[in-house]
């Protein structure tokens, strides 16, 4: 009869293969969540403490993503508290050709509004935000 005592040969949890698996199962979800959480908190902070102004000279560049979906990259300009012109971009805006998103486009382009941080105007977004309304 063969006896195996686990205390004589304990399993090595931190061996090379196990560390790799731990990094995959913990690291990938953590990184993915950071891509969602950080923009969400940036938008929430700007919505709470930001300064509102009108966007000027909005331009739009349409491109295709995921095979056949057409979206737009919107570039906008605005004046900050020091009256200097700053710019920003918002990607993945529904394109003109997508009638199912015409209401979202109307909210962006009929009254183009920018919210920016008064201490750092590089931190800005085109209103309405995309992440803050999702979560």
Q: For residue 39, which of 107, 92, 103 has the smallest C-alpha distance?
A: 92
Cα 69 to Cα 91: distance, rounded to the nearest angstrom: 13
Q: Domains of the chain: which residue ranges?
A: 34-127
pLDDT in tens, 64-95: 888 788 888 889 999 988 989 999 998 888 77
d(CA 42, CA 129): 10
Contact criterion met (CB below 8 Å) for 87 and 77: yes
pLDDT, tens only, 98-122: 767 777 777 788 888 899 998 888 8
Token representation of residue 31:
């990184």
């Amino acid at each position: 009869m063969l006896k195996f005592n686990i205390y004589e040969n304990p399993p090595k949890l931190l061996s090379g293969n196990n560390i790799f698996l731990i990094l995959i199962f913990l690291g990938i979800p953590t990184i993915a969540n950071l891509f969602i959480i950080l923009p969400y908190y940036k938008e929430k902070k700007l919505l709470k403490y930001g300064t509102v102004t009108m966007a000027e000279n909005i331009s739009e560049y349409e491109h295709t993503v995921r095979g056949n979906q057409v979206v737009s990259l919107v570039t906008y300009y605005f004046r900050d508290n020091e009256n200097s012109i700053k710019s920003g971009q918002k990607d993945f805006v529904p394109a003109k050709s997508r009638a199912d998103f015409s209401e979202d486009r109307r909210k962006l382009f009929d009254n183009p509004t920018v919210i920016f941080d008064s201490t750092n105007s590089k931190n800005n977004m085109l209103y309405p935000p995309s992440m803050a309304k999702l979560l």
